[in-house]
Amino acid sequence: MQFSITTFTFVALATFAQADVHSSALCVDMNNGYAVYNDTATIAACTAYLARNNGADQWESCPDCVMATDPAPHCQSDAWHIGGDQVMTP
């Protein structure tokens, strides 16, 4: 019997290089070297980011975080609030 180790990764879909902030992100599990979309984790992360208020920097709160579905389900911030240490890119 073979078991695969699944890891959690929050993948940035778009980046803004100056402040390392993002307009969108989604969660994936790494399964045998392949990124597999994790809907439950993406919704939970987006909800947590919406409630977050850790300071005055742009990435420390996300008042406009919403789940979007176009082109695929992801957490969206039109004001580019997603970022900092919370988003990891592969």
Number of H helices, E strands in the chain: 1, 6
pLDDT digits (tens, 9 = 90+) for 17-52: 356 888 999 999 999 999 999 999 999 999 999 998
Candidate from 6-10, 69-73, 77-81 with smallest mean pLDDT: 6-10
Residue 62 has pLDDT above 70, yes or no: yes
Domain boundaries, the chain: 7-86
Rounded Cα gap, residues 65 and 30, in angstroms: 24
Locus of tokens 């709160």: 61
Q: Residue 42: exposed, middle, or buried by beta-carbon count in 10 A (0-12, 13-18, 19+)? A: buried
pTM (2 d.p.) = 0.72
Q: What pLDDT was estimated at residue 84?
A: 58
Are the C-beta atoms of 82 and 25 separated by less than 8 Å?
yes
Rounded Cα gap, residues 21 and 11, in angstroms: 12
